[in-house]
Amino acid sequence: MKLVAVLTGLMLIASAIIPLPVHRVTLAAGQHERNARLHVVTSIEPLTFFVEEIGGDAVSVSAMVPPGANPHSYEPTPGQMVVLGDAQLFVMAGSGVEFELHWMQRFRELYPDLAICDAANGVELERIERRRDGHVHTSRIDPHFWLSPSNALVIASNVRDALVEADPRRAERYQQRYSDLVLRLVGLRDSIRHELAGFEGEAFLVFHPAWGYYAREFGLRQIAAEAEGKELTPRSLMQVVEAARTEGIRVVFVSPQFSRVQAESIAREIGGVTQSVDPLSADYIENLRAVTNVLKRSLR
């Protein structure tokens, strides 16, 4: 009897580990595919905000240029190249960000089937302006277009379209989240306009010329110290100092991705201070609110 019981037990165990019918495995695989997240890579942190806000938990996203890194000189790590190879979508700024100028051709050669979203599609790009000796000088295209909330609405539309094309099954979800984001971005724009009302035409001084689109959106004037990423000559530095004194400026805004040595020299010359504002923050809405607050205080 014991032998019969043992054999019966073994037969029950064997039946429990027999593979599931093929149709059940197929259904499980299909469910996994439906639940799988879309893998997205962006060039810079601000673009991850739009992917996360519109994609929600249906996407996983990472930025090539990490927080605090200089997009003029950053090189992707081998691990990031592996992640990019597994991605279904790459979102680029498309406005002349130095990192993209150096690497996009290489990415296209390595991953020819990778879908690419140009976030600047439909944006009217502007040139960087520098005022010297009473004259306005223009240089290359200003890549920092995302710092205008109106341009952010265009970015959101481009990202929505790219997500829908890459993952049409979730089109309705992406559309709903996009609509919610539009309301928040319009609210942000209106809020900043209210905060800066009465300051139209006022000037602020930045070391790195990242805030031109923001200035134009809200009727301000950006005075940029450096251009093309080059260190200021002593003569150029003193021209910036004189411009700041003429405008009554006491704050030099600096980007955390760049050296602030020369900015601090300018601040000492004008009897002022430096203030860090981040053009590459991933927390887009809260960052622009914070920048507006410190900028408003400097204009009083």
pLDDT digits (tens, 9 = 90+) for 175-197: 999 999 999 999 999 999 999 99
What are the φ/ψ torsions at residue 59 (nearest 5 degrees)? Answer: -130, 155
pLDDT, one tens digit per residue, over 82-116 is: 999 999 999 999 999 999 999 999 999 999 999 99
- Which residue has better confidence, 258 or 292? 292
Q: Which residues of 81-94 are buried (b: 16+ CB within 10 A; e: fewer)?
A: eebbeebbbbbbbb
Residue 230: what pLDDT?
A: 78
d(CA 287, CA 42): 19
According to the 3-state scheme, what is the secondary structure of 226-288? CCCCCCCCHHHHHHHHHHHHHHCCCEEEECCCCCCHHHHHHHHHCCCEEEECCCCCCCHHHHH
Please provide residue 122's backbone torsions phi and psi, each rounded to the nearest 5 degrees.
95, -5
Check whether 30 has a pLDDT greater than 50.
no
What letters, b where the CB count within 10 A reaches 16 and e where it falls short, cover 12-33? eeeeeeeeeeeeeeeeeeeeee
Q: Where are the alpha helices (DSSP H) in 73-118?
A: 78-86, 98-110
**Total residues found in the chain within this entry:** 300
Q: What is the pLDDT of residue 140?
A: 83
Instruction: Give me the pLDDT at residue 164, please.
Output: 99
In whole angstroms, give the CA distance from residue 97 to residue 47.
12
E strands in the chain: 38-42, 59-63, 89-92, 115-118, 127-132, 135-141, 203-206, 221-224, 251-254, 273-276
Confidence of residue 129 (pLDDT cuts 50, 70, 90): confident
1 falls in which pLDDT band (50, 70, 90)?
A: very low
Beta-carbon neighbour count of residue 230 at 10 Å?
A: 8
Q: For residue range 210-240, list pLDDT tens digits in order.
A: 999 999 999 999 999 987 677 899 999 999 9
pLDDT at 25 over 50: no
Question: d(Cα 54, Cα 178) in Å, to the nearest integer?
Answer: 5
Residues of the chain with pLDDT > 70, as a percent, come to 85
Residue 17 has pLDDT above 70, yes or no: no
Q: Across the chain, what does the average pLDDT equal?
A: 89
What's the average model confidence in pLDDT over 65-89? 96
Stated pTM of the model: 0.86
Has residue 266 got a pLDDT over 50? Answer: yes
Task: Kindly indicate the confidence band of residue 139, based on its pLDDT and cuts at 50, 70 and 90.
Answer: low
* Residue 20 or 120, more confident: 120
Q: What pLDDT does 20 receive?
A: 45
Q: Among 90, 94, 95, 92, which Cα is nearest to 115's?
A: 90
